[in-house]
Amino acid sequence: MAASWRLGCDPRVLRYLLGFQGRRSPGLIKGPAGCSVGRVTSWRWFHGTQWMHVDPIKVLMPSLSPTMEEGNIVKWLKKEGEAVSAGDALCEIETDKAVVTLDAGDDGILAKIVVEEGAKNIRLGSLIGLMVEQGEDWKNVEIPKDVGPPATATKPSVPHPPPEAQVSIPDRKEHLPGKLPVRVSPAARNILDTHALDASQGTATGPRGIFTKEDALKLVELKEMGKITESRPTPSPPTPPPTPMAPLPTPAAAGPSYARPVVPPISTPGQPNAVGTFSEIPASNIRRVIAKRLTESKSTVPHAYATADCDLGAVLKVRQDLVKDDIKVSVNDFIIKAAAVTLKQMPDVNVSWDGEGPKQLPFIDISVAVATDKGLITPIIKNAAAKGIQEIADSVKVLSKKARDGKLLPEEYQGGSFSISNLGMFGIDEFTAVINPPQACILAVGRFRPVLKLTQDEEGNATLQRHQQIRVTMSSDSRVVDDQLATRFLERFKANLENPIRLA
């Protein structure tokens, strides 16, 4: 008897069968309810063909920022077997800047999670998941053989140097068996060689057992007094070394008893730290990238610094008037606005260095440094010169909260033409900041403090008046912003900040 297998009119099955009519079973019958394939032998052949293999959609670790090299899987927002629509959030990925959600690009089903939550240091392009189209069997999906496990940050293997031919080198002094070698200072060695003495005939009193010049002079005195009867032993003629040669003693075995390890041992978690141990602190992607970029900036960018004191009297007065109208703005908002207006007036400072030369930037986007638990991040106030003080204040509040919550989007922290870092709220009078390449400048702002100034009244009488001042220090890239240009920028910035009417 012929067995039949009913298929639900899948168009892919029809396309397949139409393409292979010569190999079809003669028992194929089309019916209103679907398509049936006759004969048991035909069913077995049909089921065993490769068309039944599900071709999955690969989900790879994406590049979510220009400086991203690795990512961490924070959380999967979809489960295996769950339907996914285009635009749905698949998972949260920690980049070198923030935690960003990865959205699905197609409709389908999340078939397999290859990299679990909490995995760290996943290289870009590594396979992290698999999806299939709607209607396909997601349970039997297999990881492609051409995709290996995600590469993690590992230490590169250091090739061992080939064994060198052992050449006997005559030592300057002979050591008696069973005795530790004595470390001799250069001055002491010269004295011992001149008087045919050996350091082993005296006592080393220098730090960490070093035989010093004073020890050598004392040995010479003892020789002149006749208290030393033996001179330094003369080295015997070298004898042929035995074959094979015994291995040289290791530094740990041959070194003096006071030798200390270069790196102290790691302490055991959950136990009190022993003397000489340390606790290893895991570094997040953000902190590793910050350390890398700061090191590159300080070692490759020629930093120049210029400082100016600005009077905040007029700014504080305007701020008080705004508070009466229930408009809350900070001094830092005025500083952002003043920097943006000054950049618009002096476009030669609104530049960047891309490795080949300076580039004039057509936009004025101010990066504002925000401290978070995971490190420093700089959300951007877009087109700051065209915004009002209140609009800048609202933008800073929203972006600062998103930065601390790790919810910044890539376009909210990538780019920028000028940076501002303000530590005044922490009581810092002044400091210098590191430039954030490819930007050319960063402005470091301290706290405002009361200062007594000698001024003249309308009648010309000298009087002491109390003023509120802040000190700002601009770090500039000397390749594109020289000292004269930086000085003129600070002069213009000071004039704009001390006269808020210029910021309108």
Please report the sign of the dihedral spanned by the C-alpha atoms of residue 272, residue 274, residue 276, residue 282. negative
Whether 209 shows a pLDDT value over 80: the answer reads: no
The reply to whether omega before 32 is within 30° of 0 (cis) is no
Q: What is the pLDDT of residue 441?
A: 96
**What mean pLDDT comes out for the span 323-351?**
94
Residue 372 Cα distances to 137, 377, 378, 410, angstroms: 44, 7, 10, 16
Q: What is the pLDDT of residue 1?
A: 37
Euclidean distance between CA atoms 430 and 333, whole angstroms: 18
Q: What is the pLDDT of residue 37?
A: 39
- Cα dihedral value 107, 113, 116, 119, nearest 10: -70
**What mean pLDDT comes out for the span 178-183?**
61
**What mean pLDDT comes out for the span 237-251?**
50
Residue 259 Cα distances to 98, 186, 209, angstroms: 44, 20, 10
| Angle between helices 331-345 and 389-405 in degrees, nearest 10 | 110
Is residue 339 within 8 Å of residue 385, measured between CB atoms?
Answer: no
Is residue 184 within 8 Å of residue 192, measured between CB atoms?
Answer: yes
The reply to whether omega before 144 is within 30° of 0 (cis) is no
3-state SS of 321-358 is HHHHCCCCCCHHHHHHHHHHHHHHHCCCCCEEECCCCE
**Tokens (6 digits) for 262:** 């270069």
Give the Cβ contact number of residue 283 at 10 Å.
Answer: 12
Euclidean distance between CA atoms 384 and 268, whole angstroms: 51
Please tell me whether residue 284 adopts helix, strand or coil conformation.
Answer: coil
pLDDT digits (tens, 9 = 90+) for 377-428: 899 999 999 999 999 999 999 999 998 888 888 888 888 999 999 999 899 9
Please tell me whether residue 256 adopts helix, strand or coil conformation.
Answer: coil
**Which of 93-102, 142-151, 481-490 is modeled with the greatest confidence?**
481-490
pLDDT digits (tens, 9 = 90+) for 272-294: 667 777 777 877 777 888 888 88
3-state SS of 431-460 is CCCCCCCCECEEEEECCCEEEEEEEECCCC
Is residue 7 within 8 Å of residue 37, measured between CB atoms?
Answer: yes
pLDDT digits (tens, 9 = 90+) for 38-59: 333 333 333 444 445 567 888 9
Euclidean distance between CA atoms 43 and 195, whole angstroms: 103
**What mean pLDDT comes out for the span 362-367?**
94
What pTM, to 2 d.p., does this model score?
0.57
Please tell me whether residue 309 adopts helix, strand or coil conformation.
Answer: strand
Chain-centre distance of CA 342, in angstroms? 32
Is residue 329 within 8 Å of residue 390, measured between CB atoms?
Answer: yes
Q: What is the pLDDT of residue 55?
A: 78
Polymer length in residues for the chain: 504
What DSSP state is assigned to residue 243?
Answer: S
Q: What is the pLDDT of residue 143?
A: 82
Bridge partners of residue 392, in order along the sequence: none
Q: What is the pLDDT of residue 98?
A: 76
Euclidean distance between CA atoms 78 and 72, whole angstroms: 17
Q: What is the pLDDT of residue 155?
A: 40
Euclidean distance between CA atoms 116 and 377, whole angstroms: 27
